[in-house]
Amino acid sequence: MFEREDHFIGGAWLPAAGSEVLEVVSPSTEDIVGRVPVATTGEVDAAVAAARRAFDEGDWPRLSLDERAAYLRRFVDALETRREQAITLQTDEMGATRKFAVENFDGIRPSLERLISDAGTIKFREVRDGVVGDVVVVLEPVGVVAGVTPWNSPIAVELSKIFPSLLMGCPIVVKPAPECPLSAYLIGEAALDAGLPEGLISIVNGGVEVGAHLVEHEGVDFVTFTGSPGGGRAIAAACAARLRGVTLELGGKSAAVVLPGTDMTPYVPALIGGSLRNSGQICVSTNRVVVHEDDRDRVVGQLVERLSAMKVGDPHEPDTDFGPVAAERQRDIVERFIASGLAGGAKVVAGGGRPAGHDKGWYVEPTVFVDVDNKMEIAQEEIFGPVLSVITYADVDEAVAIANDSKYGLGGAVFGNDTEEALAVAERIVTGTVQVNGGPAAGGGGPFAGRKQSGLGAERAVEGLESFLRPKSMALPAGYRQAAG
């Protein structure tokens, strides 16, 4: 049992002021595995005030990029000493398989190093020719950041807000999802061990009310949110009312297009990983598989054969491929979608129910539907569970039309015998990121950005870092020349 009675506010552990607590229930055992306090409005105010002091009066925004990077590397050093606890806590609180948690944790340092490298290419100060004389253009930190995160990959997503914010000079207040607040405590411990200056990171627990108070706070300059489209709309409205910047990374219903005649033998693991990883609880999941009508049976056979060899079970066991979904209500949602697919005329060729031998826990079998029409609910709505729909097409133009017939545009994939041909099709899909022949998801080192109802702005890479900066132009008088640098 993980129990705490404090909050990490302004770089210190402070006893909780309120009596309300979050009880965290294990998705695999249905036992209570943690209990932590809910932040009061006063504690959120204190967190924002600490961040304001760090930004307005502290040294952090004025440190060099190299100095800030050195702090963050020490922070990762401290977090890595807690690797096993971080993996176990995430499995306890949201049912992530150990495989998934290990992969995410071991990606933390490479992600930071990639961001540091990208930041090194940004021109924070440059001299341009102006209409009269030189113009000095600088990029400055935007200010105090509020980061609101989901439950599907706790530490990785929290750090996806913390790293770019701090690297660009902005203190941040993070609100984890109420389903998974436990592992965030390790972030606070690592920040203390690394000697991060006061006020740079605060972590406040709670639900919608706590998140709303943070997002609407007058001391916040910028909001970064990952979550549902509904939550994104509410946050966007709050930011619009305050003329405040925001990035939104929202839902998806991405398509994996298999070009005619493609030999999928080398790509089936990538297709399943892209579609059903973390029991389908990934926003960029390609859970619409769009395959030529002549290839359907062959591709479906490969998918089912692969899935049948994968293990559904205790997420703490190292060889488990599919654990439970993260909450009882999430299982209810997934099962309702499965029932909707069957009622609409789609056919289940794998899964479709609860796995045998798992009377406890919120398990759903990995499920594959065929005979799916793209207009069906299971093809249009984000399920956020281990459900994959196979949709057939007659020609490539129809395949592209099916892929684009969605209110979302976050991820996607194209598989083909010829990579250049696959790339040409990928360019026609209206989405923010596309995996080509098994390339990595979520931008693969490029920007991660959504189209349509999948979000606003970008994360990762130079484009994501620049979200935390604002330009300033300083126009010099005629004839005055400013040295570059």
List, by residue number, the catalytic residues: 249, 283
Distance between CA atoms of 207 and 189, rounded to whole angstroms? 22
Neighbours of 101 (CB within 10 A): 27
Please, what's the b/e burial string for 252-281 (b: 16 or more CB within 10 A of its CB; e: otherwise)? bbbbbbbbbebebeebbebbbbbbbbbbbb
Q: Which of 303, 302, 317, 387 is nearest to 358 (CA)?
A: 317
CB–CB of 351/367 below 8 Å?
A: yes
CB 149 within 8 A of CB 174: yes
**Are 228 and 364 in contact, with CB atoms under 8 Å apart?**
no
Measured between its terminal Cα atoms, the distance across the chain in Å is 54
Structure tokens at 221: 């300059």
Closest CA to 386 of 331, 315, 426, 461: 331
Residue with tokens 């253009």: 137
CA angle 167, 172, 177 (to 5 degrees): 120
Pairing verdict, β 134-141 and 125-129: antiparallel
CA 75 – CA 69 distance, rounded (Å): 10
Q: What is the spatial distance between Cα 403 and Cα 428, in angstroms, rounded to a whole number?
A: 9
* CA–CA distances in Å: residue 149 to residues 176, 220, 231, 447, 484: 5, 16, 11, 19, 40
**Cα-to-chain-centroid distance, residue 87:** 17
Distance CA 121, CA 128 (A): 17
